[in-house]
Amino acid sequence: MNYRTIAPPPSLARYISCLWSLEAPVDDMSQRVFTVMSSGFPGLIFQRDPAVFTGFGGDRLPQLFIFGQATHYGNLQAKGRIQLSGINFRPTALKNLFNLNANELRDEHINIHDLIKTSLTEQLLHADSLEEQANCLFTCFNRLAGRRQDSGTMLTYAIEILQRGGNIPHLLNKLNLSERSLERLFQSYIGISPKLYIRIMRFQRSITLLKERSGASLTDIAYSLDYFDQSHFIHDFKRFSGVSPKIYKRDAAERMPGFPEWRP
């Protein structure tokens, strides 16, 4: 499968991490299993053919939809030609772009047409290249950004600290906030608690270490990330990926970050 990314224009860098596409060059009528892992980011997905993927509960997903924070993994089944494109938003984008309390989309998705009046689906269907799709999406989100008063600067700073491995007491001291105030801000702008966000970021760092330190033991990785022990590491890894670290290393074919296909 082919995976590509396009960086957003500077005007959208505070809202969007990247635009991406994932495409299989030929139809595959065998059933393939993919996992959506917890990433700490909301996003948008466009399916050229909405009949290819079956969602978490066995239902079809909308052709163009936005999803919120995932607090646990979910499996998707695919049958047919995979042609996906999407956007990885920054953690506070749901609030800043759509004026949506992020906790309303926790572990949920919504058709974008239920959020904003737009012809994006038709525009994307008629786009002949990823660059044309990017132009459609970036134009739409630049328009949205121009209508909103950018907020959440404090949360952006908080996220940067936590992504670098900072802890909550350090963060509260830096921001001069109470723990309750920080909790309210996270629920509104990010959709989950600070503690859960830290766990997801630590899980993401563990994936990087599993790839970079292939010879390291799970115990060494667990302690390097400040897990209590190996079993604590495995427990969190299973919650956010659906499998143990050992099975992930052995069976995951991860052409796109956070979206592994499982080898038969």
pLDDT, tens digit, for every residue of 107-161?
A: 999 999 999 999 999 999 999 999 999 999 999 999 998 876 666 678 888 888 8
**101-130: b or e for each residue (b if 16 or more CB lie within 10 Å)?**
ebbebbbebbebeebeeeebbebbeebeeb
List the CATH code of the domain at 195-262: 1.10.10.60
CA-nearest of 194, 212, 192, 204 to 236 is 204
Provide, rounded to the nearest whole percent, the portion of the chain with pLDDT above 70: 97
Q: What integer pLDDT is reported at residue 152 of this predicted model?
A: 66
Domain 2-147 falls under CATH 2.60.120: yes
Confidence of residue 27 (pLDDT cuts 50, 70, 90): confident
* Residue 58, burial from CB neighbour count under 10 angstroms (0-12, 13-18, 19+): exposed
Per-residue pLDDT of 224-258, as tens digits, reads 999 999 999 999 999 999 999 999 999 998 889 99
**According to DSSP H, which parts of 16-107 are helical?**
93-98
Q: Which of 28-32, 180-184, 240-244 has the highest mean pLDDT?
A: 240-244
pTM across the whole model: 0.92
Q: List phi, psi (to 5°) of 61.
A: -90, 155
Alpha-carbon distances, residue 22 vs 13, 25, 29, 49, 84 (angstroms): 21, 10, 17, 13, 5
